Structure 1
Amino acid sequence: MRRLVAGLLVLSALAGCPRKDVRAPEPAPPPNPAAEAPAAQASQAPGAILFFSADVRGYLGPCGCSENMRGGIARAAFQVREARQGALPVLFVDGGDSLFGEPHLKPEQVPQEERKARALAEAYRDMGLAVRAVGELDDTRGAGFRQSLGLPELASGAVKVLPAGARKVGLVSASASAGLVQGAARARAAGATFVVGLFRGTLAEAQRAVSSSAAGVDLVIATHTASEFDGEQNTLTRDAVPVVAMQSKGRSLLRVDLTYGPTPGPFTQQRTAEDSEREVTSLDRRLALMDAEINRPGIDPQLKALKQDKRTELAARRQALLTAPLTPTGEGDGFAVRFVPLESTLPSDPQVQAVVNAYDADVGKMNLEWARAHGQDCPAPAKGQAAFVGNAACAECHAETLPVWEGSKHHQAWKTLEDVGKQFHLNCTGCHVTGWQQPGGVCRLDKVAGRENVGCESCHGPGSLHVEDPSPTNVIAQPGQTVCVTCHNPENSPHFDFATYLPKVLGPGHGATRGVKQ
């Protein structure tokens, strides 16, 4: 009997112990408030941060021809991703006209521009794009190509309402005052308390649209520029309905900070602290002056390095002012508008930079392959017209001039592209070779050999007639400022000053004593 009882006790004890081969299920862990908090906090956040881009025109980054050039999708991505490290929800919206820079492409441009549009689309996805308006330039390769990129779109006349913490934000795409009014009403009916109009027009057109009606929007962004170089500045009008125009080609982002009061109500525009605004304006002026000095031809390298360090310090100070969280100025809902210039000293997002690097690696090969398969030589010069002969022919009579050219940056123009792997990028080649797309010049990327660099004929025109019969009267061009700015334009050489740059290309036998016609 005792054995039976002992056996039952052992079985009972074993039954209470899980066997090694059949593990008892572990109890569910207790709720983790820290893990569940972010989603709940995001839906009740007392504010939000909105980033806008517009009129990017197919630019992944600046050309890099000058020091300290603004722009770059990887720098924009860093700003968005950095803001997402904070407690407030962040929305990134694009205003359109971003995929392409021209309404029509030449056949040789198609491979590069389509590849670039795909790279931009990939970057936008990495940035968590909420929605983008559709502009005319986005359809350069047709609506089918645009839609194949798979980006969330907002068609003209459409409305999108997005959660933004404890409030909702409405986005309206319109090209007229009536469209803003109707779209704003629809957005508010869907629960939006802050409405942004993405206006398909210029700054002046957007101002007229909101002046003719209250429009029902809180902020209007003009997503078009009137001409190629009208988008050089960031502009904010201080009207009843503020209107914004950003620098084109991805050189700046617009940041809108929303702050919410205890209960929803009309949004009032907050001014950033006056002292901060004054300091930012002052820093802008100092940075512009510093850029002009750093880009001055012939600047001493040590002095340039010192000035570059100082510029980096000034840019960091301005960036801190532009991205610091805003303190609500009242008890109700408010918003503040700030531009974030994408300075060259700002960090780039590694993930998006990898997208840009992949594009750079691909596009040169694609362009070269296209040129070999489909390229056409430039037409021959018309009878009696001059042809290109190259620097060697010039040097036979102008031996004292050649060292002047060899000591200039024009002599290194092709190498500067090779150093960054862009010698077969169509956006760059034209200003780094002689006779690009001219009769008797070079029209194929696979036949650049012998035409590299900015040679004599880039400024003086094709020289065959002058070589055959040397005379001052048959030099095609007497170069002046109008010739220089074909490449040294505001986009590629924003700090170019003819009077400052001119002496750097003069020398014995090259205008040093007799001057250059202007």
Structure 2
Amino acid sequence: MRRVLVAALLSASLAGCMRKESAQPTPPEAGSTPSTPTATAPASNAPGAILFVSADTRGYLGPCGCSENMRGGIARAASQVLEARKGSLPVLYIDGGNSLFGEPGLKPDQVPQEERKAKALSDAMKLMGLSVRATGPLDDTQGAAFRQGLGLPELPPGAVKVLPAGARKVGVVAAQTPEQLVQTSARAREEGADFVLALLDTTLDAAQVAADQPGLKADVVVATRTATEFSGEQNKLVRAAVPVVALQSKGRSLLRVDLGYAPKPGPFSLQKGQGDTEREVAALEQRVALLDKEITLPGVDPKLKALKQGKRDELVARKQALLTAPAEPPGDTNGFTLRFIALESSLPSNPDAQALVTAYDADVGKMNLAWAKEHGQDCPKPKKGEAAFVGNAECRTCHEDAFPVYAKTKHPHGWETLEAQGKQFHLNCVSCHVTGYQQPGGVCRLDKVAGRDGVGCESCHGPGSLHVDAPSTDNIVASPGESVCITCHNPENSPHFDFATYLPRILGPGHGKPPAR
């Protein structure tokens, strides 16, 4: 009897391993389009389902890497979705749109890079098993024909898609106006949807107004567009009769919706117990944010930095465990929870999705460099009486005592950091890592960066030829203010930057401070 029991347990264990291995997506061949993963269909009587929602990605494959502990990345998002698919519950991945491009129009030199990036994003979405996606204005930057050529399962404005999710059906609707939102949500119910997720192509404020419309049949409304490029810096949940959600933009977070099914079909309600989890997660978020500021301070002691980074990773792991824990059984009523999965730097990346990003990085550098050599034009020369760039060597002749302080900062190594990541020919990155980008006498071609590579004195103080000829505080930016710094140290590229805290770290005798006597 004991041998039979051991054999049965061994057989079950091996079968479980085989099922786990079979759920892994097949790595795409070089140059091919990844296929949608075909996970084993969960039983139709599954006690719930998991929905993942992305939106307002704005053409971002991942963070630039200029700062530490930056959120985001399609490879981290893929890891979350594909790991959930290994479980017993149905998983649907839905995109709200405004994801393929970051601008409504492109300059000629941007076209090769941005189209290649949109292709990489679409391939990653297919790898994640995209169920359906709405479209927004930022998806049509290169026209509807380009967007449709990517082969993604699209949901046009005013359309409805009802998807099986185990014992229930999930209706996904796309709308651009409050009236369209009401009409599509009602139609989804008529077509048999038990739970309705509405993708509304507008901002959070406008979505709140739309969610108050009489006759709305949606269970949750996702606002899929931010007002400006830097307005989507936080995840937001507005609790109302119909909850309204806005995701952190640029692919930095996912919305996770956990559905719990009662024995009988019926209306869904936001689970009351979720408030305790939200408060605990918010407290952990605050502690992580404080550590981020301490870790990224210029000149922080390496040993202390390592200790703080370890503590930060521990807090992120605790937060992630809370956010991915199975929802409580709903009891006699159907329930759902809404959780934001912040794609923190310490979370794993899916290797197949990361391979798509790596291939993009390699391709786009070659494409941009080739474009610059064939079509690039030099910056115009400064007009008569206008200051020109002279380089650090000219500055050093009078300000030698400032250079030991400057050398200890990351500024002189700005170009090296790009080369280390293979992004020295990425148009999104170059402007903050060279001196005088797109300025008269500065850098306007990727193939002519020599002598302007790195963040030089003139990046902060302005072109210095007039100052060299007649030194005066009237013909140079003597004390650059915060407005100069945040052109590069903005919320996207330097999310933990604080001017008052950082400024003293780059000052010293001869550089903002009088010499020691």
Q: Do the aligned residues in 1 keep the contact of 2:186 with 2:216 (CA within 8 Å)?
A: no
The residue type paired with residue 120 of structure 2 is A
Give the aligned CA root-mean-square deviation in angstroms.
1.7
Q: 1:329: how far off? A: 3.4
Residue 365 in 1 paired to residue 366 in 2? yes
Deviation per CA, 1:375-409: give whole Å up to 9, x if none.
01111111110010101111111111222212211
Partner residue of 1:104?
Answer: 105
Q: Looking at CA atoms only, which structure, 1 or 2, has the larger radius of gyration?
A: 1
Partner residue of 2:297?
Answer: 296
Partner residue of 2:24?
Answer: none
Partner residue of 2:355?
Answer: 354
Partner residue of 1:138?
Answer: 139
User: How far apart, CA to CA, are the structure 2 residues paired with 1:273 and 1:441?
Assistant: 54
Q: 1:41 to 1:66 in 2, by over 3 A?
A: closer
Partner residue of 1:147?
Answer: 148
User: How far apart, CA to CA, are the structure 1 residues paired with 2:320 and 2:478?
Assistant: 46
Residue 60 in 1 paired to residue 61 in 2? yes
The residue type paired with residue 386 of structure 2 is Q
Q: Structure 2 unaligned runs (5+)?
A: 1-14, 20-38
Q: SS state of the match for residue 446, structure 1?
A: coil
Partner residue of 1:456?
Answer: 457
Q: 1:325: how far off? A: 0.4
Q: What are the equivalent positions in structure 2 for 1:54-453 lying under 5 Å apart?
A: 54-453=55-454
User: How far apart, CA to CA, are the structure 2 residues paired with 1:251 and 1:368?
Assistant: 29
Q: SS state of the match for residue 52, structure 1?
A: strand
Deviation per CA, 1:443-466: give whole Å up to 9, x if none.
000000000111010011111111
Q: 1:189: how far off? A: 1.5
Q: 1:69: how far off? A: 0.5
Partner residue of 1:510?
Answer: 511
Moved >6 Å (runs of 4+): none
The residue type paired with residue 495 of structure 2 is P
Partner residue of 1:493?
Answer: 494
User: How far apart, CA to CA, are the structure 2 residues paired with 1:274 and 1:199?
Assistant: 25
The number of residue pairs the alignment matches comes to 481
Q: Do the aligned residues in 2 keep the contact of 1:55 with 1:248 (CA within 8 Å)?
A: yes
Q: SS state of the match for residue 209, structure 1?
A: helix
Q: Do the aligned residues in 2 keep the contact of 1:177 with 1:213 (CA within 8 Å)?
A: no
The residue type paired with residue 102 of structure 2 is G
Q: SS state of the match for residue 131, structure 1?
A: strand
**Which segment drifts farther, 181-190 or 275-284?**
275-284
Q: 1:44: how far off? A: 2.6
Deviation per CA, 1:458-512: give whole Å up to 9, x if none.
0111111111122222114631111111101111111111121112221221111
Q: 1:513: how far off? A: 2.4
User: How far apart, CA to CA, are the structure 1 residues paired with 2:340 and 2:403?
Assistant: 47
Q: SS state of the match for residue 462, structure 1?
A: coil
Q: Do the aligned residues in 2 keep the contact of 1:463 with 1:476 (CA within 8 Å)?
A: no
Q: Structure 1 unaligned runs (5+)?
A: 1-31
Q: SS state of the match for residue 508, structure 2?
A: coil
Q: 1:276: how far off? A: 2.8
User: How far apart, CA to CA, are the structure 2 residues paired with 1:311 and 1:133?
Assistant: 36
User: How far apart, CA to CA, are the structure 1 residues paired with 2:500 and 2:361?
Assistant: 35
Partner residue of 2:485?
Answer: 484
Q: 1:208 to 1:273 in 2, by over 3 A?
A: closer
User: How far apart, CA to CA, are the structure 1 residues paired with 2:373 and 2:274?
Assistant: 59
**Which segment drifts farther, 448-457 or 173-182?**
173-182
User: How far apart, CA to CA, are the structure 1 residues paired with 2:124 and 2:277?
Assistant: 32
Give the percent of matched residue pairs that are identical in Structure 1 and Structure 2. 68
Q: SS state of the match for residue 361, structure 1?
A: helix
Partner residue of 2:35?
Answer: none
User: How far apart, CA to CA, are the structure 1 residues paired with 2:235 and 2:43?
Assistant: 31
Q: Do the aligned residues in 1 keep the contact of 2:58 with 2:138 (CA within 8 Å)?
A: yes
Deviation per CA, 1:5-40: give whole Å up to 9, x if none.
xxxxxxxxxxxxxxxxxxxxxxxxxxx9x99xx967
